[in-house]
Structures are given as C-alpha cells and as structure tokens.
Amino acid sequence: MKEVQVGSGAFLLVFSDVKHEDEQDYFRWLTTEHVEERLGIPGFLAVRIFKTAIPGGNRYFIWYQLENADVVDSAGYLERLNNPTPWSQRIMPILGNFGRGGGAVTARRGEQPGAYAVTVGLEKVPADANAVLQKIEQIPGVVSLYLLETNLQKTTVQTSERELRKGDKSFAGWLVIEVTDRDALMALPMAISGLADGKDENAIGGPYRQVFSR
C-alpha cells in the first residue's frame, strides 16, 4: 500500500444514534438539506455517510473532507451552527450518543474506498503514526487508513446547534480503516488492540457501510 503523508487536508467526523421511528425523517433531512447546506460553506469539499445497525435503530457516521482545520471554527461554519434551520432544530434533539470532532489529517495510506469502515477513537494520537499504520496495513483486505488529529479547541466551540443536543463527545484523534471483506474485519481487533479508549463503548465503531456520498 502506498504511503502518503498529508501536510494539508482536514476532516469533520459526526456520529449519532437514530431510532428506527425517526430514521426516515432524519435521512431525508441529512441528504436533502443538511449536507447541501454544509457543502455550501467555504472549505467543505465532500462528504461520505455510513451507518451500522444498533438495537432499535442505526448509528450514523458522517465524514466531511475539509480544505484545512481552520474550517472547523470558520466564520461561515459558525454562522450556520448559530442559525439552525427549523428542520435542524427538530432533528438535533433526537440524535442519541452524539460524537463530533474536527481537525487535521495526520497521515494516510491508500486511497480506495472499502466495503466496510471501522472507526477507532484515540485517547492520545500516537507519536509514531507510521508504526501504527504499518501494523494495520499488513492485514489482507485493508485498502485505506487515515490517522486524524482532533483540534478540541475548535471542535468544542459553543453554538446554538450544539445547545439543541444532549451532549457532544469527542476524542483526541481518530483512526479510520476501510476494508474489502469480513475476513479483514475479523483480523482488526488484534491490530488495533491498545489504541482505543477502553472506557468509552463508542471507541471502536462499525463495521459501517457507506450509504451516501457527495
């Protein structure tokens, strides 16, 4: 797998649980209003949306590609966060187990999308990124790896939209792994052992399947 060190590029990750009875309204809002609104903000470049089944509903993982980490608390983005639409005001309170983090792409390997994605919330971003990625990329079926470092100061700015939710969680960083098949998924726990924050049940998320991109 080709190694790519990223000196620019950034991300915003959003996670939330959605009950089955709320999902139709949520997914219509997400794909027809919310994503279009976000991609209209300077610095928001693209989005991929994933989901995985949980008891009573689905957990969604939204992955925005940003031009740089300053977009996370840019004037254009904060203007939208402080003026949520009526539809957003209805959706935000129903989102459970909410997680969010934005910042810089520290490193990545591979560029192919996989059949499944797994996310790992990091209590601390490893100093030796290459050593972490090198261990995981040896697994057959791993097609891309992203090591992401959250800017907690930018992520935790208080906004009107944030106040509509019950509470946001975040991590110091994230590892996003995309694989081609379930055999690769079965091999991941050993490779990522010790990286995740064991105190948080959402430290390891997935396997997610992509359901939308823009």
Domain ranges (residues) in the chain: 3-213
Return per-residue pLDDT of the chain as tens, 214 residues. Answer: 545 444 458 999 999 999 999 999 999 999 999 999 999 999 999 999 999 999 999 999 999 999 999 999 999 999 999 999 999 999 999 999 999 999 999 988 888 899 999 999 998 888 887 788 888 999 999 999 999 999 999 999 999 999 999 889 999 999 999 999 999 999 998 888 878 755 666 788 999 999 999 9
Note the CATH number of domain 3-213. 3.30.70.100
Beta-carbon contacts of 112 under 8 Å, excluding residues fewer than 6 positions away, are: 143, 144, 178
Beta-carbon contacts of 58 under 8 Å, excluding residues fewer than 6 positions away, are: 17, 18, 20, 23, 51, 52
CB 173 within 8 A of CB 150: yes
CA distance 137 to 108: 11
Q: Burial code of 16-42, b = ≥16 C-beta within 10 A, e = fewer?
A: bbbeeebbeebbebbeeebbeebeebe
